[in-house]
Amino acid sequence: MGKPHQRSRNKAPTDPVLLFIQDTQNQRIFAKLANENSFDSDVAAGLLSIIKNKCPDIPDWEAFYRRATRLAFMLHEQQLFVHLKHFINHVKARDSQSKSKASHWQKQKMVSELGIRAEPYTVQDILDGKPEIPAFKVVWRERTTKDHHIKAHFYMSENSRSEDHGVSKLVDLDEYDMVRLAADQSYIVLAGSPEAYTIELVVVRGVGMGCAYSPSLTKFLRKAVDAAVNYR
């Protein structure tokens, strides 16, 4: 007698997403990246690249998460999905921040239009007085170690006796040994000697003043200075 016919019991192919999340090493990585302080966007991008190679129909982390949650019933470790949820939230937050930041190309475009894309030059070029670079006045001055006790929220005036600023907290700079820089001159302030110097301050006048970005840039820089003065 012939052997009875047996139905094929070939196992259905396992979903690659399921295999990925079942891997204990990947589970440890997701657990670490679920912590906001440990989240690393470069590691996340590397993982997504691996997943795309295994699953061409998974374009991003949200698609991965949707697929993974449909497979949740096949896993006993539900804590993994808590980690995945936190991880996805961190990815979304970083993506949102990235969209609000200028790209490398946008930064290059702005630098070019501001007219500050030029050949680089060094402090030594300035000291040598090379004619092809901007004209700087070099000031040699050592940084003081004296505490002047000029605190935040104090208005600093060059001559408080002849000016009425309408503020009570005012510091008269005439009482201090300070260098005054002309408004139409570029400066570089150095400490030490030409053979061994430290750059204390660089003031470049007339930079980025002739394009559409100029008013917004100036407004931003004023706010930055105000913040540095009032919230230091």
pLDDT in tens, 32-78: 888 888 888 888 888 898 989 888 889 999 899 888 888 877 777 77
Whether residue 190 is contained in a domain is answered as no
Q: Is residue 105 part of a domain?
A: no
Q: How many CA atoms lie within 13 A of 2 on its CB side?
A: 3
CA atoms within 13 A on the CB side of 47: 24
Q: Are 154 and 144 in contact (CB under 8 A)?
A: no
Dihedrals φ, ψ of 49, to 5°? -60, -40
pLDDT value for 70: 85
Tally of structural domains, the chain: 1
Phi, psi of 185 (to 5 degrees): -125, 135
Q: Is residue 163 part of a domain?
A: no
CA distances from 176 to 37, 42, 145, 173, 220 (A): 45, 50, 13, 5, 30
| Per-residue confidence (pLDDT) for residue 10, from 0 to 100 | 44
pLDDT at res. 17: 87
**Could you tell me if residue 204 is inside a domain?**
no
Residues of the chain with pLDDT under 50: 1-2, 4-12, 162
Q: Tell me whether residue 31 is in a domain.
A: yes
What predicted TM-score, i.e. pTM, was given to this entire model?
0.46
Let me know if residue 198 belongs to a domain: no
Whether residue 91 is contained in a domain is answered as yes
pLDDT at 102: 67
The whole domain housing 86 covers 16-99
H or E, element range at 41: helix 41-54
Which helix (H) or strand (E) element contains residue 220? helix 214-230
pLDDT of residue 1: 47
Residue 116 located in a structural domain: no
